[in-house]
Structures are given as C-alpha cells and as structure tokens.
Amino acid sequence: MKKTSKAPLIRHPQNPILTPDDMPFRCYTVMNSGAVKFGDKVLLLLRVEYCDRSTHFHVATSDDGVNFTVCEEEINYPLSLTEQHIGAAHRFDMRITPWEDFFYVNHAAWMPGGFGCGSGTATTKDFVNFTPMPYLIEPSNRNVVFFPEKINGMYCRLDRPQDVDGKGGMWVSYSPDLTFWGMSMPINLKAANLGGSGWYINKCGATGVPIKTDKGWLVIYHATASTCSTENYYLGAMMLDLKEPHKILAAPTEFILAAEKDYECIGQTPNVVFSGGAVEMPDGTLNVYYGGADTRMCVATTTVDELVDYCFNNR
C-alpha cells in the first residue's frame, strides 16, 4: 500500500503544556497523565513527583485542551485491601475509562517488600474522591486500561505482563465481575508486520482507552527499544477487531511519534514520549497527551479518521 507523507501526529506549538514551573506548588516532575472529557472540560489526572520523589495525583482541567488549571490539593484515594495488607504502594501512570455515570481509573502500583509491580483500579464520579477496588492485579503487570464497554457480555482490559527483565507485550483479558480475570490472549504485534521493526523490541503497552470506530478499536500504544545509550520510547497505533480484540486488523510498521524535541529528550528519563490518554475535541481534533522525558506534559494532535486511515494505509 502507498504510504502517506503526512506525519500522523503533530506536536502542539505550545509544548510543553505543563512543566514543574507551571505547578501551584514546588515539585520535581509532572508527567504521564490520564486524560478524559469531563463535562465540557478536558481533565488530566497528573502524575506529580514532589521533591522528595514521592508520587501524587493532582487534577488539571482546561476549556481548550491546552491551557490547564491545576488543583493544588491532591486527590482523596484510600489504600485498597491489598495495599493495606502490604502497608503501602507506589502508584503511578493513570488511565481513565468513562463508564455510565462514573469513571474507572487504572494505574501501576509498585509494592515494597519485593512484591513488584501490580495494578490498581478505582472508581470516581467527581475526580476528588476515589473508591478503590479491593484487590490489586498481581505482579508483574502494568499499563492496564479497560475497554469503554463490555465485549461479548464481559468486561475487557488491555494489560502488559512483564518478564523478569521488565520486557513484555500487550494482552487482552476478560472478566464477569472485575475481580476474576481470564480467557487471556496476547496481541501478537510481532506477527502483524512488526517482526523486523527496530522500535518494537523491548516492551509495549496501551496508552489510553481504546477508541471504538466502525472499522475496529483504535489503540494508541507505547513501545521501547534500546540504543547504545538509552532505552527510547515511541508511540504507535493499531486497529483491533471489535468482537475479538486480540486480533490485529492493521498495525503500521512505523511509529507515529518518537522522542526528538529537547522537551522529550532531556529530563529525568531521556528520550521518552509516554501517553496516558487522548481526548476528542468538539471540532474533531484528537488531542494525544503525553509525558516528555518523564518530566513535563505535552500534547500532539490528529483526528480519529486520520489515524484510522494511517493504520490501514501504512502496513
């Protein structure tokens, strides 16, 4: 198929849209935020590292999707039963799924005591108070996000089980009740035209909520590959089957974004573009929010139709 010459994602000229200097309190980083439409505003659930390196979640809202107001108070999110049993958890990298009249949030949860990284889930209606699901998804697993509707009568999620060295790819799992999960199937990107892709070597995980289209589920994901100096992050896109989302319909061999700008290459973790979600604006623009170098927040734009066409026409 003939490949398009247009870049699939366009960085916003105002990037970065949030930096530690923009926050209403002293902090070290602001990054890797969940993103969702909340009423008539765009809402980011920011991952903020304070200057003691502890991680906290703060809400930011915007009328235009670019200029954000940050809440000075962090969210109210009690420990789950698993976290209470262990004593604590290091939570980070939110994803947000709208559901009926509330929202599910998923995040990584690193547990002290050598237990590794699991994943937590909570519900909220107001993004002030959060109710945790009782149990964490056991290690080693992260990058969990729910599909925005049931598939074949079951809840469905994307996740990334990890190897012992942190590598791993995406899987699809199902649940009747959000407690017991199974029928897990891998998303075999390496068999879908990506076997020789140099940017898809180490790991990949879903960013935000899969976007339903009449041609399939549009999924934006991150992937990494090692260079001689760093592990570089990339964003990719693919289309999954609506009824059997472990089946790939289209997966371009090229990434849609790589760390190239100073704000993506210089910071706490060099050469990182890491997205936690995208929001479709009233004019049809799809804002893809991402962290740059694990230090600041950025946004790149496209449309759902353009990204779907890119997936099918660049295989």
The model's pLDDT over 131-190, given as tens digits with 9 standing for 90+, comes to 999 999 888 888 999 999 999 999 999 999 887 667 888 999 999 999 999 999 999 887
Using one digit for the tens of pLDDT, what is the confidence trace for 6-48?
789 999 999 999 999 999 999 999 999 999 999 999 999 999 9
pLDDT, one tens digit per residue, over 281-312 is 999 999 999 999 999 999 999 999 999 999 99
Mean pLDDT calculated for residue range 56-63 = 98
CA–CA distance, 73 with 23 (Å, rounded to integer)? 11
C-alpha span between 18 and 217 (Å, rounded): 29
CA–centroid distance for 96 within its chain: 9
CB 185 within 8 A of CB 191: no
Residue 245 near residue 184 (C-beta atoms within 8 A): no
Q: What is the pTM of this model?
A: 0.96
- The whole-angstrom separation of Cα 287 and Cα 280 is 6
Residue 151, both tokens: 């598939």
CATH match of 10-313 with 1.10.10.60: no
For residue 151, give the nearest of 244, 250, 246, 248 by alpha carbon: 244
Cα–Cα separations (whole angstroms), residue 110 to 88, 190, 266: 9, 28, 25
Burial class (CB in 10 A: 0-12, 13-18, 19+), 100: exposed
Contacts (Cβ under 8 Å, ≥6 apart) of 195? none
**Tokens encoding 290:** 């991402």
The SS3 of residue 136 is: coil
Local structure of 147: helix, strand or coil: coil
The pLDDT > 90 percentage for the chain reads 80
| Phi, psi angles (nearest 5°) of residue 108 | -70, 150
Residue 157 identity = R
CA distance 41 to 282: 11
- Encoded amino acid at 125, one letter: K
Considering only CA atoms, give the Rg of the chain. 18
| pLDDT value at residue 164 | 66
CA-closest candidate to residue 158, choices 131, 137, 135: 137
Sign of CA dihedral 241, 246, 252, 257: positive
